[in-house]
């Protein structure tokens, strides 16, 4: 067989039907964003110095794309340079929440640092959060064709064992089939990432994971995103501030010396 050009050798692109679109911007209520900056302020007031801290962005299970609150778990370690978290921390905190509330991302502060973007350490933390969150926020986002080279169609009760030796995949049906197209469900999920600074700046990303249910083909990607501020009836009350102050004292664990891991960077 001859081809006029190399384009004749290209593999055909699988057909795909879009079922749903994942969030393209970070939607957050004014209450949640103000609470995040208030935590930073309380950290400075409590420990007389600015430290990095992290928390989880929370959403309603029926509308997980909107951040309605900030959850503050017990931080593993807080220093001037970075904050770290573990899968166990995420799972433990989720268990404390109402069944209607889900973790839809994470938020952390760079304190007084001039690093107004995500760092390499943040990337490691983000992978930890992504792996946990996406398993709980997944939804069908597409139907995608699974291209099978050398598919053999057989009829139930009419084929021999040696027929199974042919082809790369055998499809056995109760009636004769001349041609078959396999369309797998692609499950997609998302995870928000927000970083803030003491002087009021913020930066945000959305991380995505798509996985074919049959092929197992997985795509992980991320993009910078705009922050869309939503008004809400809820506001930080005096009681909220007192409870938040107590949470900061209990859950933030400052380390004033430079850790060995940082010294090696």
Beta carbons of 168 and 151 less than 8 angstroms apart: yes
Residue 244 φ then ψ, to 5°: -70, -40
Cβ neighbour number for residue 143 with a 10 Å cutoff: 15
What does DSSP assign to residue 106? E
Distance CA 187, CA 255 (A): 41
Domains of the chain by start residue, with CATH = 22-141+187-263 (3.40.140.10)
Q: pLDDT per position in the chain (265 positions), as tens? A: 454 555 555 667 889 999 999 999 999 999 999 999 999 999 999 888 888 899 999 999 999 999 999 999 988 655 544 556 778 888 889 999 999 999 999 999 998 888 788 887 788 888 888 888 888 899 999 999 999 888 999 999 998 999 999 999 999 999 999 888 999 999 999 999 999 999 999 999 999 999 999 999 999 999 999 999 999 889 999 999 999 999 999 998 776 555 444 333 2
CA 58 to chain centroid? 12
Query: pTM above the 0.85 mark?
Result: no
pLDDT of residue 41: 94
Q: What is the pLDDT of residue 7?
A: 53
pLDDT of residue 52: 85
């Amino acid at each position: 067989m001859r081809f006029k050009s190399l384009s004749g050798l290209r593999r055909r692109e699988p057909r795909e039907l879009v079922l749903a679109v994942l969030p393209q911007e970070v939607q957050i209520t004014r209450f949640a964003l103000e609470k995040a900056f208030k935590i930073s302020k309380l950290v400075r007031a409590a420990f007389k110095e600015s430290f990095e801290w992290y928390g989880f962005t929370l959403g309603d299970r029926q509308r997980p794309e909107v951040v309605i609150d900030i959850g503050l778990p017990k931080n593993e370690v807080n220093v001037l340079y970075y904050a770290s978290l573990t899968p166990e921390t995420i799972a433990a905190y989720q268990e404390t929440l109402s069944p209607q509330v889900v973790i839809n991302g994470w938020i952390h502060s760079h304190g007084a640092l001039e690093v107004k973007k995500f760092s390499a350490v943040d990337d490691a933390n983000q992978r930890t959060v992504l792996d946990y969150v996406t398993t709980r926020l997944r939804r069908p986002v597409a139907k995608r064709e699974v291209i099978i080279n050398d598919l053999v169609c057989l009829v139930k009760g009419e084929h021999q064992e040696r027929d199974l030796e042919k082809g790369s995949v055998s499809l056995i049906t109760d009636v004769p089939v001349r041609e078959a197209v396999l369309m797998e469900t692609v499950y997609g999920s998302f995870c928000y990432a927000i970083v803030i600074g003491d002087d009021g700046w913020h930066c945000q990303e959305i991380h995505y994971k798509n996985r074919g249910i049959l092929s197992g083909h997985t795509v992980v990607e991320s993009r910078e995103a705009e922050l869309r501020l939503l008004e809400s009836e809820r506001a930080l009350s005096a009681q909220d501030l007192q409870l938040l102050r107590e949470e900061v004292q209990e859950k933030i664990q400052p380390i004033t010396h430079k850790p060995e891991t940082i010294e090696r960077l």
